[in-house]
């Protein structure tokens, strides 16, 4: 998969792109990611990317010219162009899985009070929000979405099976995990985990998933979180 990120703050992605599973996925060629500074497509002498809102009001709005030029420079036939915005559709695990099957994604990070609506109307295919709060710009939202979808690309996670049992794949939260020592500061791990009885362990884990989900996220039990 190829991903291009258009942002005014490319440095915000430096650590994210080189560390851990995403860094390894890039090294191994599962993921090719280009990060581009929108300012590189500004043509005036001050390299302006924003302007005052027409009709008045506070703040600044990202201008059409550099953004159209940036998108047109990186897009490819059949790519999916995604704008990150708090008024986008809520991002989900199901959406991450669907996006992981695309061959080329272009993420546009907004800034200031937003971007000129004509960009959204013509060169954006989808708008996504990562939650009901407002970030200073969409760059970290792009990173969150890339991180979540990369895990669904075959080969990115060493152990494919680690995807199958975890939170949200089955609309349930994860079960509690323990490792050695079996007793730490007087706290013993649940006995069943030391039993070697895999049927009993499986049953206990499933019951814990249901108990935790009912307690912490009852909304997940009534929703079909499987639609993309």
Binding residues: 110, 130-135
Closest CB to ligand ADE among residues 34, 131? 131
Determine the Cα–Cα distance for residues 111 and 7; give it in Å rounded to an integer. 9
Nearer to ligand ADE, 67 or 130 (CB): 130
Residue 82 in tokens? 């995604």
Structure tokens at 77: 């036939």
Query: Which residues are known binding-site members for S-adenosyl-L-methionine?
Result: 110, 130-135
Question: Nearer Cβ to ligand ADE, position 7 or 129?
Answer: 129
Q: What angle do CA 36, 149, 105 make, to 5 degrees?
A: 40
Q: Burial of 189 by CB count in 10 Å (0-12 exposed, 13-18 middle, 19+ buried)?
A: middle
CB of 8 to ligand ADE, least distance (A): 12
Shortest Å, Cβ 42 to ligand ADE: 21
In angstroms, the CA 171 to CA 78 distance is 31
Closest to 169 in 3D by CA, of 91, 93, 222: 93
Interacting residues with ligand ADE (CB under 6 A): 84-86, 129-131, 133-135, 138, 141
DSSP 12: G
Cβ nearer to ligand ADE, comparing 133 with 159: 133
The least distance separating ligand ADE from the CB of residue 98, rounded to whole angstroms, comes to 17
The C-alpha atoms of residue 213 and residue 60 are separated, in whole angstroms, by 43
Between 84 and 172, CB nearer to ligand ADE: 84
Q: What are phi and psi of 179, to 5 degrees?
A: -135, 180
CB of 65 to ligand ADE, least distance (A): 21
CA distance 173 to 117: 38
Q: At closest approach, how far in Å is the CB of 133 from ligand ADE?
A: 5
Name the β-bridge partners of 129.
90
Q: Considering only CA atoms, which of 124, 80, 128 is closest in space to residue 102?
A: 80
Nearer to ligand ADE, 85 or 93 (CB): 85
Minimum Å gap between C-beta 143 and ligand ADE is 11
């Amino acid at each position: 998969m190829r991903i291009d990120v258009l942002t005014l703050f490319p440095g915000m992605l430096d650590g994210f792109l080189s560390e851990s599973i995403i860094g390894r996925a890039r090294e191994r060629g599962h993921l090719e990611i280009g990060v581009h500074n929108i300012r590189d497509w500004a043509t005036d002498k001050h390299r302006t990317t924003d302007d005052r809102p027409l009709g008045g009001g506070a703040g600044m709005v990202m201008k059409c010219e550099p953004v159209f030029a940036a998108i047109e420079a990186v897009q490819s036939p059949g790519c999916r162009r995604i704008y990150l915005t708090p008024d986008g559709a809520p991002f989900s695990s199901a959406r991450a899985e669907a996006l992981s099957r695309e061959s080329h994604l272009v993420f546009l990070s907004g800034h200031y009070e937003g971007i000129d609506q004509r960009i959204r109307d013509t060169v954006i295919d989808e708008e996504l929000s990562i939650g009901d709060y407002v970030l200073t710009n969409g760059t970290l939202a792009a990173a969150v979405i890339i991180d979540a979808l990369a895990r669904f690309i075959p080969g990115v996670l060493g152990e494919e099976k680690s995807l199958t049992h975890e939170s949200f794949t089955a609309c349930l939260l994860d079960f509690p995990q323990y490792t050695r020592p079996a007793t730490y500061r007087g706290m013993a791990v649940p006995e069943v985990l030391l039993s070697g009885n895999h049927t009993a362990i499986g049953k206990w884990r499933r019951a814990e998933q249901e108990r935790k989900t009912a307690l912490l996220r009852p909304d997940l039990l009534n929703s079909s979180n499987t639609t993309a």
